[in-house]
């Protein structure tokens, strides 16, 4: 299908409109005023119409440039998707509405891509342990370290790990299909959340001889998906248990002004901020997920080095 430029279309409309108006003026002048159109008058009318054609061409060109400038800018900005999430405004109302609609859709696309990327990072992070366990079992059997009756026991454990991997993949695929709907925030009561968190983590910390203390001042609330909040706090506790060599971990939540604070602190040997932020480059995705999920929901992350251990401070806008 052949295309026609906006300039040519506008030119044609204005030109034929001008001819129609000029003809009507000439017709009603003759009819109402009664001026006869002789050869001389006809020549004058044709000459005046011809002389005004360049003016109409200039008007059509200027209008076309004014409109097409904003359309061309939108076209250039669209090539920057999905990085671009905001499109420039326009003085033309219809193009301005189009820009706002494109901005909304661009933000939506960006959120979906980010959510899918985070989901893949989570999957990679969760698969590391079972894959490592299976590799150790296979290596042990191959090297003759695991043999006899132990071989059957460890093969059963390896089979359990493959089932765990299968469940993780099924769960992740299911979440990827519904990620746009499931990533919407909900109101989380931190008092109730900490009660649930304690029942999950205190068994593990007690078994490892580590004291876990959970403190909530009043009943602060957050607008965030509960799964993402569990991922943030869970990763911070898990990293404190695995890497800090601590004997106690504190998790505190409180309101201060217009923000809600979550603080996870341990009394271990301490970890440098650079290692926390860039740890995902060396294969540990936990802190990277904490940072990305916090930023995704408008929060901020800071790392503090007390006299002993490490303190991670996360804050979110209240409500």
Burial of 114 (0-12, 13-18, 19+ CB in 10 A): middle
Of 65, 60, 71, 55, which is closest to residue 22 (Cα–Cα)? 55
pLDDT for res 282: 46
Tokens representing residue 12 in the block: 């044609």
Tokens representing 286 are 């936990």
pLDDT in tens, 155-182: 888 888 888 888 777 766 665 565 445 5
* Structural domains of the chain sorted by starting position, each given as residue range(s) with its CATH number in brackets: 6-78 (no CATH), 109-182 (1.10.287), 187-317 (3.30.565.10)
Q: Does pLDDT of 294 surpass 50?
A: yes
Indicate if the pLDDT at residue 194 is higher than 80: yes
Look up the pTM and report it.
Answer: 0.51
Round to whole Å and give the CA distance between 319 and 314. Answer: 15
Helical spans, DSSP H, in the chain: 6-28, 39-78, 93-142, 149-177, 179-182, 190-207, 226-243, 273-278, 286-296
pLDDT digits (tens, 9 = 90+) for 307-316: 788 899 999 9
Instruction: For residue 319, name the pLDDT band (cuts at 50, 70, 90).
Output: low
Peptide bond preceding 82: is omega within 30 degrees of 0, i.e. cis?
A: yes
Measured CA angle at 111 (ends 106, 115), to 5 deg: 150
pLDDT at 1 over 70: no
Banded model confidence at residue 33, pLDDT cuts 50, 70, 90: low
What whole-number distance in Å separates Cα of residue 271 and Cα of residue 246? 11
pLDDT in tens, 242-262: 777 888 999 999 998 889 999
Cα distances (angstroms) measured from residue 118 to each of 115, 177, 181: 5, 14, 15
For residue 241, what pLDDT is reported? 82
| pLDDT value at residue 64 | 73
Q: Using pLDDT thresholds of 50, 70 and 90, give the confidence band for residue 286.
A: low
Helix (H) or strand (E) run with residue 157 in it: helix 149-177
Question: CB within 8 A of 185, min separation 6: which ones?
Answer: 223, 224, 225, 297
> Is there a contact between 315 and 261 (Cβ–Cβ < 8 Å)?
yes
**pLDDT tens digits along 90-138:** 777 777 888 888 888 887 777 767 767 776 777 777 787 788 888 888 8
**pLDDT of res. 255:** 92
Confidence check: pLDDT of 196 > 80: yes
Tokens of 208: 């490892």
Identify the pLDDT of residue 313. Answer: 93
């Amino acid at each position: 299908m052949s295309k026609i430029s906006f300039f040519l279309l506008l030119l044609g409309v204005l030109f034929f409109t001008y001819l129609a108006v000029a003809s009507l003026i000439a017709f009603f002048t003759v009819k109402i005023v009664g001026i006869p159109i002789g050869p001389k008058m006809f020549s004058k009318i044709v000459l005046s119409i011809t002389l005004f054609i360049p003016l109409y061409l200039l008007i059509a060109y200027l209008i076309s440039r004014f409109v097409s400038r904003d359309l061309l800018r939108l076209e250039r900005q669209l090539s920057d998707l999905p990085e671009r999430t905001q499109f420039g405004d326009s003085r033309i109302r219809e193009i301005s509405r189009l820009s706002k609609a494109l901005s909304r859709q661009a933000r939506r696309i960006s959120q979906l891509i980010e959510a899918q990327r985070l989901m893949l990072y989570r999957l990679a992070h969760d698969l590391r342990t079972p894959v490592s366990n299976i590799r150790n079992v296979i290596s042990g059997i191959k090297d003759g370290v695991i043999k006899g009756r132990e071989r059957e026991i460890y093969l059963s454990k390896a089979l359990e790990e493959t089932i765990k991997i299968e469940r993780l993949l099924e769960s992740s695929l299911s979440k990827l299909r519904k990620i746009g709907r499931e990533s919407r925030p909900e109101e989380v009561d931190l008092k109730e959340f900490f009660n649930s968190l304690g029942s999950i983590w205190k068994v593990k910390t007690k078994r490892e001889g580590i004291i876990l203390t959970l403190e909530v001042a009043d009943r602060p609330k957050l607008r965030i998906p509960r799964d993402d909040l569990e991922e943030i706090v869970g990763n911070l506790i898990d990293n404190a248990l695995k890497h800090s060599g601590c004997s106690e971990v504190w998790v505190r939540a409180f309101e201060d002004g217009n923000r809600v604070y979550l603080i996870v602190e341990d009394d271990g040997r301490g970890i440098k901020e650079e290692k926390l932020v860039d740890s995902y480059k060396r294969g540990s995705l936990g802190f990277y997920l904490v940072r990305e999920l916090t930023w995704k929901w408008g929060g901020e992350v800071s790392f503090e080095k007390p006299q002993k251990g490490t303190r991670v401070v996360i804050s979110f806008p209240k409500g």
